Every structure is written in structure tokens, then in C-alpha cells.
Amino acid sequence: MGQAQHISTDHISVDGAQRPLLVGIDVGGTNIKIGLVDDLGRTLAYRTLPTEPEKGAEDAARGMSDCFRQMVQETGLDVQDVVRAGLATPGPMDLSAGILLTPGNLPQWWNFPIRDRVSHHCGLPVTYANDANAAAYGEYWRGAGQGSHSMVMFTLGTGIGGGIIVDGMLVDGAHGAGSECGHIVIDPRPEARRDSLDKPGTLEAYCGSYGVVARAIEAIDVGRKSLLETQRSNGNSITPLVIARAAEAGDALAREIVLETADYLALGCVSLIHVIDPDRVVLGGAMTFGGEQASLGREFLERIRQTVPPRLLPPLRDQVNIIFATLGGDAGYIGAAGLARLEYHAHA
């Protein structure tokens, strides 16, 4: 079992916690994050477990429960204070049936009734959510979106995930598949770039890590001089991280690729702002080029902030705030706990 780690959210003591308490569980392909969270979204305790998908989903559900019970014991809590669990997993899923369908990174878990099995082992009712949606809700509740009326989040990584919260309500759709912000179409041409699912012209095709790398490689292939070309000649793969480092080292092509990514992402922001009219747009995930802490990340954000407003309808211009996420990898379990809390209070 993993150790408690530094996280960016507030930590509080058991005595200071506001009841009822929730447990938030965020299942990833590598790790499972579990946190005990109070009614105000503050973390009392936190653990990570290795996912070990090859051992099967039933084993993992049992492991989540063991971890949860151990955390309760170690913190000296009364287990009765914990009223509900929030469980976030990758999709696709059948939200209403509580079934994990066919997630690409958890092939051994396909078609597993995960909500009810986790509920059985933990002895708690479980609220089930898509992981990107849970992360967005976490940011809305306790992170970059705190205090906003409505928020759109883009999660930048291999794919482009998303989450939309309107007036406190997560937009998860009629079939639990809403907020797929990476799959909006930004290029109508049949010859447009294709994403990992072979769909042409989507935002993900241009801004997902595969699209970012492909744009760099194509530029090298037509003869652009770049540190990236040297990397490739030395047998190294070009990744978004390699591109970010080259850009930070002053490589012109790498910098261009990063800013071009900002330009494409800005189009996605423009579309979502017109559709949702949020007061915050939050950018999170692994591919924010260092985020607020890095000059490249800040330049990336600044470029988006400059590109978006001239494309907005007048009543929206200057109203929206585009910012980086603040909870990092904790957003998922905090958001899952927050969604469980919503369901608890709705029925209480």
C-alpha cells in the first residue's frame, strides 16, 4: 500500500472535519487514489494503491475497501461518519447500471459491475462517475473553479478529456457520455488530421499528445531544423515532454508547435464558451507545458487568453476567465467524493 503524499488540497484533522464524510476513489490504469473527504471538500487522509489490473476487478474492489477501512481506523474515525463513496473510472461505462464497459487501459476489467461490487465491499452506497467528469467537478468544488457559476474544463493529455459543470450540476448527458470536449470538430475537411479513434478534424486530433507530436514530426520531415530532429536522429522518441524541453531551450520549431497547440485549443475554448457561457475555463492534465510554474506553460496560457476574446460574441468577451487547474492528480478523488456528497444531500 502506498504512503500518504503531499497534495495541493487542504488537509484537516479528524476533529476539525465537517460531517458527513465521504470517501472518494479515482481509478487509473496505474494507480488508484483514495481519499477521505469532509463535507467542505477537505482531505482527512489519502492513499494510493497500485491498480494491478491483471489481478482482476473483484480483487481491486476488495483492495479499495481494505484501504478505506484502514484509513478510517488510522485516523481514529467512526466508520458511521462516512456516508457514501464516490467512484471515478475511465470510460466507456454504463453509468446508470454502474458497469465499467471496455476501457482501453483496463482490459481485464471489461463489463465489470464495479459500482455494486465496490459498494458491497465498502458497505457504502456508491456514486459512479467518469474520471474526467469527476476531476472537473473536483476543480469546481475545491480547485480552480471554486466560486464560479459554471465551468468548462479541458484535460490535456494523450486524449483531450473534458468536464462541464453548470450551476452546480455536472453535465454527464443522457447516456453518461457528456462533456467529451476533445471530440468537437474544429476542421471540416475530409483530409483533416485524425484522432486516436480515426475521427477526422476533432480538437483531440490537433491537441492530443499524438497530434502534437505528429505536427512536430511533419515539420521536421519537410526539412525544418530543430533540436527535435537531433533527438530523433539520436534514436529518441519525440514526445510532448521532449517538445516542451526543446521549446524551453529556445528551439524555434518546438516553440511554434506549443503555440500552435494553444491556437487550436483556443478554438475549442471559443466553441465551449459559446455553448455553455461559463465564467471559468480550466485547463488541466499532463500536457499543460509545465502550467503556472513554468514560463512555457504561462506563455501557452497567455496565447490562449489572447486568441479567444476576439472570436467571442460581444456579451461574452472579457467575461470569461481561462486558468490552469490547481488540484493536479487529486481532482479526481475529491470530485468523486463531491459527487457522492451531492447525491447524499439530495436524498438526505
- Binding region for a second copy (CB under 8 A): 91-92, 101, 148-150, 162, 164, 166-167, 169, 171-181, 183-188, 197, 199-201, 206, 263-264, 267, 270-272, 274-279, 311-316, 319
- Asked whether 167 and 149 are in contact (CB, 8 A), the reply is yes
Nearer to a second copy, 131 or 251 (CB): 131
Nearer to a second copy, 125 or 200 (CB): 200
Burial class (CB in 10 A: 0-12, 13-18, 19+), 80: exposed
Nearer to a second copy, 186 or 287 (CB): 186
Phi (first) and psi of residue 319, to 5 degrees: -95, -25
Nearer to a second copy, 133 or 231 (CB): 133
Rounded to a whole number of angstroms, the minimum distance from the CB of residue 13 to a second copy is: 36
Nearer to a second copy, 61 or 170 (CB): 170
Phi (first) and psi of residue 87, to 5 degrees: -125, 120
Nearer to a second copy, 9 or 179 (CB): 179
Of 339, 184, 158, 150, nearest to 264 by C-alpha is: 184
Rounded to a whole number of angstroms, the minimum distance from the CB of residue 164 to a second copy is: 7
The x, y and z cell numbers of residue 56, run together, are: 482482476
Of 99, 22, 35, 30, nearest to 64 by C-alpha is: 35
HEC readout, 280-334: EEEEEECCCCCHHHCHHHHHHHHHHHHHCHHHCCCCCCCCCEEEECCCHHHHHHH
Rounded to a whole number of angstroms, the minimum distance from the CB of residue 189 to a second copy is: 8
Phi (first) and psi of residue 161, to 5 degrees: -95, 180
Would you call 297 helix, strand, or coil by DSSP?
helix
